[in-house]
């Protein structure tokens, strides 16, 4: 592996994922839930942006000026293609963290995001990140950091160690990452077949090993096979980020804000007695066996009074991003799945059913008629956002960014015709972020934009693409074989898209 990679996987591309937590609107909501004053985000930066899907969507769909670096030139090239398609002014670099930290042409940032970076880089690079945050985050600014956490990784860490060691010392020199991953998976299966004592004291490991077999080899390569990989206790992360004058503010995982989903009565009582916030989060991680944390940190956190907090929450606008009939009133937490109470949620959903943007103040007025109070509305919106059925809406005029959104979405949809790993997202000028849109839905969207109104013709065009790539649909666990069966299935999907999703395209300003 070449020296510039510093032991990081570079011969196989990172997944084309989108992460809502990198949207400053999500940070604003989480901070308000905890009573912290959110910053006015005008300049933002993503460190280690991967394929650049999140970065480009946020740059195209908002008025925020975005900057970013990723040391892998292959990934930067992909991100640049997306930015050029959008016509965004996002500034992209292939600098290492050391190089980026030393640049003298960067502004002070109001928001800095790191997804999937902290646990997968060396301690030296983590120190450089802390230095960058110290130097480049404006007072009052927010940092998003996600990372692997203890104790949740304690049981599975030995398996990761075996796989990484096998890839390093047992595979042929020059083998690519995909081959090394495949060989390591085979070896770990042999280990588990030998009934190790370790598996008896860590009974969840066997099922997790089996789940590895179903996951993308590109994802596994980046998750498990980098030279550096270090799950950390929350308190240890907090100690390092304190050097950049950062204070933990809120979880970016919104269901964490609703304790009854995750903690028993006895656990909540225990945490109420833990006054130190860092110790409280550390104890909470033990109670829920936390494996992956997503957190917002603030430089100079300023608390809001109750009236100011309520006023800012009431100003926040939201929009329903799934068909009203498809809303699922279920939410999952550590303790399992829970129902979202109809008397609270149904009036809100009915008010949002036309996919028009509504403020929380408007929703509060609707809910009050049903005897639902303000804090119940806030929690309901939080869980609807957490489940991806409602999105926070931006304050800007969608028309100001519409041309960029159209250019970017066309580039994303074109990828859906060529590849199965396009990412499944389109940018929304209303939300300033991304809306989930599956591969075939992206293709239908593109065909409709090209002036074809007939869903049957969409289905035929998509069928031609699948057969030209020798791809086959799977239905009820079985691959379809004939072209007629494919056309029938694709026509049903196209008609369903036309009836339920296409009417939302204008409301969400997807282009």
Q: Tens of pLDDT along 360-380? A: 999 999 999 989 999 999 999
Question: Quick check: 62 and 41 in contact, CB under 8 A?
Answer: no
Count of other CB atoms within 10 angstroms of residue 288: 16
How does DSSP classify residue 506?
H
DSSP string across 465-495: HHHHTT---EETTEE--SHHHHHHHHHHHHH
Tell me, yes or no, whether 71 and 52 share the same domain.
yes
Tell me, yes or no, whether 333 and 387 share the same domain.
yes
Tell me, yes or no, whether 128 and 192 share the same domain.
no
Tokens of 86: 């959008």
Tell me, yes or no, whether 212 and 241 share the same domain.
no
Tell me, yes or no, whether 102 and 19 share the same domain.
yes
For CA atoms 424, 425, 426, 430, the dihedral sign is: positive
pLDDT band at residue 12 using 50, 70 and 90 as cut-offs: low
Instruction: Give the integer Cα–Cα distance in Å for 151 and 289.
Output: 6
Total domain count for the chain? 4
Tell me, yes or no, whether 50 and 128 share the same domain.
yes
Tell me, yes or no, whether 325 and 293 share the same domain.
no
pLDDT band at residue 176 using 50, 70 and 90 as cut-offs: confident
Instruction: Give the integer Cα–Cα distance in Å for 163 and 186.
Output: 9
Rounded mean pLDDT, 140-163 = 90
- What pLDDT score was predicted for residue 2? 47
Range of the domain at 185: 157-224
The three-state secondary structure class of 177 is: helix
Q: For residue 243, is it within any domain? A: yes
Tell me, yes or no, whether 37 and 104 share the same domain.
yes
pLDDT per residue over 208-247, tens digit each? 888 888 877 777 787 777 777 889 999 999 999 999 999 9
Rounded mean pLDDT, 280-308 = 95
* Residue 425 scores a pLDDT above 90: yes
Tell me, yes or no, whether 121 and 162 share the same domain.
no
> What's the pTM?
0.90
Tell me, yes or no, whether 114 and 238 share the same domain.
yes
Q: What is the CATH number of the domain that holds 57?
A: 3.40.50.150
């Amino acid at each position: 592996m070449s020296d510039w990679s510093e032991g990081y996987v570079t011969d196989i591309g990172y997944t084309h994922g989108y992460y809502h937590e990198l949207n400053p609107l999500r940070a604003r909501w989480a901070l308000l839930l905890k009573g912290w004053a959110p910053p006015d985000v005008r300049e933002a930066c993503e460190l280690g942006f991967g394929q650049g899907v999140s970065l480009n969507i946020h740059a195209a769909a908002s008025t925020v000026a975005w900057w970013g670096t990723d040391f892998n030139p292959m990934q930067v090239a992909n991100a640049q293609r997306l930015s050029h398609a959008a016509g965004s002014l996002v500034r992209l670099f292939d600098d290492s963290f050391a190089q980026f930290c030393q640049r003298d042409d960067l502004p002070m940032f109001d928001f800095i995001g790191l997804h999937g970076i902290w646990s997968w880089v060396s301690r030296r690079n983590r120190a450089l990140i802390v230095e960058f945050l110290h130097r480049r985050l404006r007072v009052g600014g927010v940092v998003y950091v996600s990372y692997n956490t203890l104790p949740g990784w304690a049981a599975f860490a030995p398996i990761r160690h075996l796989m990484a060691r096998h890839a390093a010392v047992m595979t042929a020199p020059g083998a690519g990452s995909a081959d090394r991953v495949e060989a390591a998976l085979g070896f770990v299966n042999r280990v588990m077949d030998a009934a190790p004592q370790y598996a008896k004291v860590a009974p969840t490991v066997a099922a997790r090993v089996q789940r590895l077999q179903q996951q993308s080899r590109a994802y596994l390569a980046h998750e498990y096979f980098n030279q550096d990989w270090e799950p950390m206790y929350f308190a240890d992360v907090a100690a390092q980020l304190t050097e950049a004058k950062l204070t933990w503010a809120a979880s970016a995982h919104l269901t964490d804000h609703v304790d009854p989903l995750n903690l028993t009565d006895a656990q909540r009582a225990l945490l109420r007695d833990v006054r130190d916030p860092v110790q409280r989060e550390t104890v909470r991680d033990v109670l829920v066996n936390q494996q992956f944390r997503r957190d917002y940190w603030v430089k100079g956190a300023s608390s809001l009074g109750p009236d100011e907090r309520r006023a800012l929450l009431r100003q926040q606008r939201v929009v329903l991003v799934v068909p009203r009939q498809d809303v699922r009133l279920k939410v999952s937490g550590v303790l399992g799945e829970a129902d979202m109470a109809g008397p609270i949620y149904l009036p809100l959903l009915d008010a949002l059913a036309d996919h028009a943007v509504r403020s929380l103040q408007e929703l509060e007025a609707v809910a009050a008629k049903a005897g639902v109070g303000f804090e119940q509305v806030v929690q309901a919106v939080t869980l609807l956002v957490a489940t991806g059925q409602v999105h926070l809406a931006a304050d800007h005029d969608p028309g100001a960014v519409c041309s960029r959104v159209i250019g970017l979405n066309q580039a994303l949809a074109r990828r859906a015709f060529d590849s199965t790993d396009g990412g499944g997202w389109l940018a929304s000028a209303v939300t300033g972020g991304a809306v989930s849109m599956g591969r075939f839905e992206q293709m239908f969207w593109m065909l409709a934009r090209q002036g074809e109104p007939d869903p049957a013709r969409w289905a035929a065009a998509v069928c031609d693409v699948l057969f030209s790539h020798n791809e086959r649909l799977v239905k009820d666990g079985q691959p379809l074989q004939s072209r007629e069966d494919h056309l029938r299935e694709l026509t049903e999907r196209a008609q369903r898209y036309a009836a339920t999703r296409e009417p939302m395209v204008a409301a969400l300003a997807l282009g």
